[in-house]
Amino acid sequence: MHALVLTGPGEAEIQDVEAPKAEPGQVVVNVERVGVCGTDAELFSGEMSYLHTGRSWYPLRPGHEWCGRVTALGEGVCEDWLGRRVTGDTLLGCDRCDRCRAGRHHVCADTGEIGVSRGRPGALAEQLAVPARALHALPDTLDSTLGALVEPGGNALRAVRAAELRAGERLLILGTGTIGLLAALFADAQGVEVHLMGLRQPELAGTLGAAGVWTRPALPDHLPWHAVIDASNAAELPALALDLVEPARRVVYIGLAGTPSTLDTRDLALRDVTAGGILGGSAGLADTIAAYADGSVNPRPLVAGTVGLADAAGILAGHRPDDAGPGPKFHIDPRR
């Protein structure tokens, strides 16, 4: 089958590779759609920290935001999965340790991430092998665009939940990329007043129900922020999130900067602020599917366009096709 393979920093090619087989406990999925995110771009550029710690290495097959149809079952897998349209958890724990048994497989010491770490092949290919325990069925009402947005949606939903806001309270989201905009959609669906802050005031953000879209100089200084979510990749913004949030409320960190950020824990303690970090969408995938299915959250405008596997390397390198829409997300259809 054809697959995109990262062979080194800034180097990628489509290769003919061996098609996966459904080992015991696994299924094989014919991939329909794959989302490209910042992690994929950093794996391509060589900037991803995992490449420097030994958790990831080249050659690497990326792609962790995906959907498709199950076409083969391994031994021990329920036959009901055959023919089902599915997406799946990216974070795969050992399924044996205390963390996994307690439902915290996403922080298992041996976690491998599909298309990201520990040599697990990703979905930028015609087929993908996945443990059946990681699968989530997609209802017929969810097309491939929505199916490939479930994984980032799960991340955003977990961030909004961690903010612990009530309807009518005010949320500030730092960052207007895919996760920031998805968090805005989920928070708005819960009746929260949403504001976004980014380097720019993207036209798209103002159409997603946000009460305000600001740059840093224009950010109002008279509004109390009942929670702040940092969904940016700027090293200086975690400290700003703490400065802006109301005392005794919550800041949520889901963005990852390329360099270490500095946070003064004295401010955290003296203002009685609770800070939380979010890794992965595992616990939010099922409810994300439900929100997309019932229409309470519609992330379609975030997708700027869909290209074939041959154009995937260009997207990873930051190329934006001339006919792209205003959204931050690009999808790849490996069947093209």
Residue 275 is predicted with a pLDDT of 98
Residues 137 and 194 in one domain: no
Give backbone dihedrals phi and psi of 291, rounded to 5 degrees, phi first. Answer: -70, -40
Give backbone dihedrals phi and psi of 298, rounded to 5 degrees, phi first. Answer: -125, 100
Residues 59 and 115 in one domain: yes
Token look-up 């962790």 returns: 64
Residues 251 and 190 in one domain: yes
Residues 75 and 99 in one domain: yes
Q: Are strands 329-333 and 303-308 parallel, antiparallel or unpaired?
A: parallel
Q: Are strands 112-113 and 91-92 parallel, antiparallel or unpaired?
A: antiparallel
Is 289 within the bounds of a domain? no
pLDDT in tens, the chain (336 residues): 999 999 999 999 999 999 999 999 999 999 999 999 999 999 999 999 999 999 999 999 999 999 999 999 999 999 999 999 999 999 999 999 999 999 999 999 999 999 999 999 999 999 999 999 999 999 999 999 999 999 999 999 999 999 999 999 999 999 999 999 999 999 999 999 999 999 876 678 878 889 999 999 999 999 999 999 999 999 999 999 999 999 999 999 999 988 899 999 999 999 999 999 999 999 999 999 999 999 999 999 999 999 999 999 999 999 999 999 999 999 999 998
Is 287 within the bounds of a domain? no
3-state DSSP assignment of residue 44: helix
Is 293 within the bounds of a domain? no
- Amino acid residing at 305: G
Is 23 within the bounds of a domain? yes
Is 284 within the bounds of a domain? no
Residue 201 is predicted with a pLDDT of 60
Is 204 within the bounds of a domain? yes
Residues 138 and 122 in one domain: yes
Residues 145 and 18 in one domain: yes
Residue 206 is predicted with a pLDDT of 77
How far is it, in rounded angstroms, from Cα 124 to Cα 169?
A: 40
Contacts of 321 by beta carbon, 8 Å cutoff, 6+ apart: 305, 307, 311
Q: Which of 246, 282, 256, 235 is nearest to 177 (CA)?
A: 256
Residues 252 and 189 in one domain: yes
For the CA atoms of the chain, what is the radius of gyration? 20
How far is it, in rounded angstroms, from Cα 119 to Cα 21?
A: 16
Domain that holds residue 217: 156-277
Is 325 within the bounds of a domain? yes
How far is it, in rounded angstroms, from Cα 124 to Cα 84?
A: 20
Q: Ramachandran region of residue 38, left (φ > 0), alpha (ψ -120 to 50) or beta?
A: alpha
What CATH number is given to the structural domain containing 306? 3.90.180.10
How far is it, in rounded angstroms, from Cα 193 to Cα 210?
A: 7
Counts for the chain of helices (H) and strands (E), in that order: 10, 17
What CATH number is given to the structural domain containing 204? 3.40.50.720
3-state DSSP assignment of residue 128: strand
How far is it, in rounded angstroms, from Cα 30 to Cα 129?
A: 9
Is 285 within the bounds of a domain? no
In this structure, the number of other CB atoms found within 10 A of the CB of residue 108 comes to 19
Residues 318 and 233 in one domain: no
Residues 41 and 141 in one domain: yes
Residues 265 and 207 in one domain: yes
Residues 9 and 141 in one domain: yes
**Domains in the chain: how many in total?**
2
Residues 84 and 168 in one domain: no
